[in-house]
Chains A and B, each alone.
Chain A
């Protein structure tokens, strides 16, 4: 993994380590100077063990969420690394013909062209590496996609990897594990082959069975000698293994190889460290031969880390609100602890304990909770991540239609970061709350009287002035830098700082908080169109959502808390008519009103969680619903198919006509694409060529496709105009939207190296863009002109620079043959059935086909599962809510013990006492549900409305999954009740005579 919160992970670890060291060092020195304060602070841990446990739970949640996000990143990184190692084994570099490999297993298409070269190249490589001690194995090899049949089992696999290497050169490439133990390619004689376990499983064959290898028109029978396990066959899926000479004979490539595999010194993981040196050594030797040294392992491992970071960023972003709620909970817990000990602390102050000593005592206690809680939190986070990756595996299986072998992994680095972050965050909050506690009036504290009101007018005004100045500067920097996040935070800060100013001006507390809270919530909820009309274009990303979301909730909670009497008065007027409910209502409404801090903080926590869940559920649901459009997703076709690069179909319509299994009238359109890995750069930018890919679309595709443009160059009116221009004029092209910058960045993934610049996808228009496309194999460069950017709703399978097949053939003759096919089925033909028949008809070409409907359904199902996973992750914040309500209710029972005694004395039944506690929590939960839902729906509407203004999403509509929301509401309410039920029962069991004696 690379970055967390935009900071390189290793740097973050060092910084956090140093910060934690300093913090613990300071605590240690203070502890040595005043051991008695440590004793005073730490002894509280054992006083009430149940509550200590609750506090630890409350404190650990922030750490848990960070640890979950980091461990998920670790796991994804490890899984993808594992896939790379299973695919490449000991191979670190892959020597191939220039311009043939994008990288193994991207799934975006198969390239054609000159791929084979003389196997004697291996001797030059040996010579170049002689005496360097860099590598421990070099072998010529063929890794190719073929189709395999098992006649006796009636099984067919259109795409199996054929792996062939020189048996005499397999040292350094790991061992092949057969049934009797280690086997070698040497052991194979005649028509014998090995199958790996995956292939044997899919074909349902065992030792001694016969298979048929199909390559184009040719078919070869082979006997399965053994079922083996081998890492490095060029796939982590099905493979058939045989000696190089035999593969050359089957493929008609005598004395030729498709690759030279190079294994660096070291094992399958560590070898990649020598890759740069190996590439430097080999490039001068191979370049003149038209060969390329691909640092396959190193690239794969780096890609794994990028993917891991993407997941981590995703989960830390969506966990931000829960982390914020967790911080609020820590603050609440310590403020309540301080309130409970107020009398005790007052006495300590009275007998001469300095304020600083109180802060230290409290901080020592907090640190003790903190050190334990962060450890538990980090470990729990890893456990939750484990559960999450299980769900993720299911999501990937659904989306990809095949199994992703998720390997759980957690690195000490991730746990250390989560632990350090959790400890430091909590220590900071504890120190602030300890300071807040220490500023007490001693006499009031001893007698447990309310803190006398101190005007502190000057201090409040000074703080307000700082807030106003900082807010103003932030707003200014946001507006001048066209950035939404600082602008929104700045304006919010100004409004927050206005509260004390309004109060000093003599306006009531209620007016000040209500006005400012309302302004914050309303302003940040305004359609973003209005913000841009007022302030010009503002770029947004996930930080905008997080910052605005937090401020909106703060504003809304202020409005509620300072006007709750009106709401509750109304509730009392309506529900109070039920006479049996009236006294319970009266009590349960009075307490939340009387303690605005507690009520507001808990409300904020619950509202944050509901708000994020609703926003996430509704907006993601809307996007998923929008993507379920077969017309947009399929581009006007019903079936998508692809063949191996070794066996392209040059004229698909003719091939269909020639196939006895298919009738031409069953397919109304048969279109094709070729696929070529190239290097490209936007002309005139001075940048270097970067690897990308180009597609050649045939006339049938260009005539028929309905794939929409997200952005169209000046001079073209519609998507159809663009496609027709690409078909009729040479060297015109369209690109996918991922290579175009956006002003708003709602993506987590790393962008491709090839980029177009000079305009934004989501803003304004663009002039046709010249792009130089260079084919490494032929050394030819062609200038293409990009006149359209594909819509974001277009599937990934259209990624690349797409031009006409004619243009591509003219630019790079003989290089690009069709390997990707799109079909439109006749009205009475079932696309799913047609896909199966196409696979069967073109088995020799290794054709894999699927109906667009199935591809889309699989993709949607995966997205839905992933969406639920995110919901579950955001729902972790509910634990914060449980802990908060649990802490508050438990504390309330202790605080109100005497009052409970009075209630019981004057006639409250046990059930009424219990009901009053449950109603208090209900007030918090129901208010949070209503407010969080309203705010969440408004923000989701805002997101949808804003997105609809942007290219690609004109048809996006707000879809509210009410059933899903209902489940969330019930869950939130149930959680609130569960958290309160135990303290409420305890309150109901209070014996009045005992409680009345309690002080």
Chain B
């Protein structure tokens, strides 16, 4: 077993020897090959590695977006495998936030509507949802662009909206898949700084899949992967800017 468990306290997220196989019919690809990992509360972890090493698959399995073929994922001590699709979905709605490389905002909704969507899913009253969404946008510095649709925003702004959406519901953990992958260096630095700030000031737990070394440098810990396995876990003192 490859262990990357470097967190001594009770972990928020825990992967136990998980395996994920993609069966295309002709070939079987072992995307994850016995990964174990623990992420503590308030931790900011970067998962790095070459393309195709299984980073995104790991994120998907940890967040419950995808199932595992073997092993188990525990969130706050609860096994994802024991949850139905509906329970996993509800869990994501109430306790998780997501940030994607291509922003993945609803193009037909304005910034504030995108941010309030998870709040509405969590059955918050409309007025309350709107207030919290505006507050989240303010937190990411986009209060003035609240009523613009994604097409009217720059890449950096869109990613801020995505982060605001991820924060809106006070999640236990935010999963970020290449959050700076589609941004120029200046915007990428701003986004990383924003996430770091949220991690430090609000104690938000981040798990970030990235190729970007500057992102890794900001993380508390870098987990390196190769061929579906965790090969190295590196504890680091984050660079403050």
Contacts and interface: CB of A to CB of B under 8 A. Distances in A.
16 contacts: A450-B151, A579-B124, A582-B120, A586-B120, A587-B108, A590-B109, A594-B108, A898-B102, A902-B98, A902-B106, A905-B63, A906-B93, A906-B117, A907-B92, A993-B66, A996-B177
Nearest to B110: A590
Contact of B104 (A579, A594, A901): A901
A993 B60 contact: yes
Contacts of A912: 121
Interface in B80-106: 85-86, 89-90, 92-94, 98, 100, 102, 104-106
A906 B108 contact: no
- Could you say which of B86, B94, B106, B151 has the most chain A C-beta atoms within 10 Å of its C-beta? B106
Contacts of B107: 594, 899
Interface string A320-347: 0000000000000000000000000000
A590 B102 CA distance: 21
Contact of A591 (B85, B108, B117, B126): B108
A904 B89 contact: yes
Given A450-B151, A902-B100, A908-B89, A992 B117 contact: no
Given A450-B151, A899-B104, A993-B66, A582 B126 contact: yes
A653 interface: no
B106 A587 contact: yes
A589 to B, nearest CB: 9
B109 to A, nearest CB: 5
Contacts of A898: 102, 104
A863 to B, nearest CB: 49
**Which 4 A-B pairs rank lowest in CB-CB distance, beginning with the nearest?**
A907-B93, A993-B66, A594-B108, A583-B120
A997 interface: yes
B160 interface: no
B56 interface: yes
B108 A907 contact: no
A227 to B, nearest CB: 72
A504 interface: no
B118 A906 contact: yes
A206 interface: no
Q: How large is the interface on A (under 10, 10 to 19, 20 to 34, 35 or more residues)?
A: 20 to 34
B158 to A, nearest CB: 13
Contacts of B102: 898, 999
Interface in A897-921: 898-899, 901-910, 912
A371 B96 CA distance: 53
A905 B65 contact: yes
Nearest to B129: A582
A55 B197 CA distance: 53
Contacts of B177: 996
Given A906-B117, A908-B89, A996 B104 contact: yes
B104 A907 contact: no
Nearest to B57: A993
Interface in A177-232: none
B69 to A, nearest CB: 13
B125 interface: yes
Contacts of B105: 902
Nearest to B149: A594
B123 interface: yes
A590 B150 CA distance: 13
B171 to A, nearest CB: 10
Contact of B65 (A579, A910, A993): A993
B104 A902 contact: yes
Contacts of A593: 108
B117 A996 contact: no
A993 to B, nearest CB: 4
B113 interface: yes
Interface string A977-999: 00000000000000111001101
Contacts of A908: 89, 93, 121
A576 interface: yes
B96 to A, nearest CB: 8
Interface string B42-67: 00000000000000110010010110
A907 B90 contact: yes
B122 interface: yes
A132 interface: no
A991 B88 CA distance: 13
A999 B104 CA distance: 11
- Could you say which of A898, A991, A992 has the most chain B C-beta atoms within 10 Å of its C-beta? A992
B165 interface: yes
Given A580-B123, A899-B106, A907 B118 contact: yes
A909 B86 contact: yes
A909 B120 CA distance: 13
A910 B92 contact: no
A905 B92 contact: yes
The B interface, classified by DSSP as helix, strand, loop or mixed, is helix
Interface in B219-235: none
A586 B109 contact: yes
Interface string A554-594: 00000000000000000000001101101100110011011
A973 to B, nearest CB: 24
Contacts of A904: 65, 89
Contacts of A999: 102
Contacts of A992: 60, 65-66
A579 B121 CA distance: 8
Contacts of B57: 993
Contacts of A996: 60, 65, 100, 104, 177
Contacts of B94: 907
B92 A906 contact: yes
B60 A590 contact: no
Contact of B90 (A579, A594, A903, A909): A909
Interface in A704-720: none
A907 B91 CA distance: 8
Contact of A576 (B56, B117, B126): B126
A907 B121 contact: yes
Given A905-B92, A907-B94, A997 B56 contact: yes
A906 B125 CA distance: 18
Nearest to B123: A579
- Could you say which of A591, A905, A999 has the most chain B C-beta atoms within 10 Å of its C-beta? A905
Given A582-B123, A583-B117, A904-B65, 18 more contacts: A450-B151, A579-B120, A580-B123, A586-B113, A586-B117, A587-B117, A590-B109, A593-B108, A594-B108, A899-B106, A901-B104, A902-B98, A906-B165, A907-B92, A992-B60, A992-B65, A996-B100, A996-B104
A583 B98 contact: no
A904 B89 CA distance: 7
Contacts of B106: 587, 590, 899, 902-903
B57 to A, nearest CB: 8
B128 to A, nearest CB: 10
Contact of A579 (B60, B109, B113, B125): B125
Contact of A910 (B85, B104, B120, B123): B85
Nearest to B105: A902
Contacts of A903: 106
Interface in A483-521: none
Interface string B170-205: 000000010000000000000000000000000000
A629 B66 CA distance: 71
A93 to B, nearest CB: 75
- Could you say which of A579, A902, A908, A910 has the most chain B C-beta atoms within 10 Å of its C-beta? A902
A563 to B, nearest CB: 17
Contacts of B124: 579
Contacts of A993: 57, 60, 65-66
A903 B129 CA distance: 17
B89 A907 contact: yes
B113 A590 contact: yes
Interface in A951-999: 991-993, 996-997, 999
A583 B89 CA distance: 14
A355 B48 CA distance: 45
A590 B120 contact: no
Contacts of A591: 108
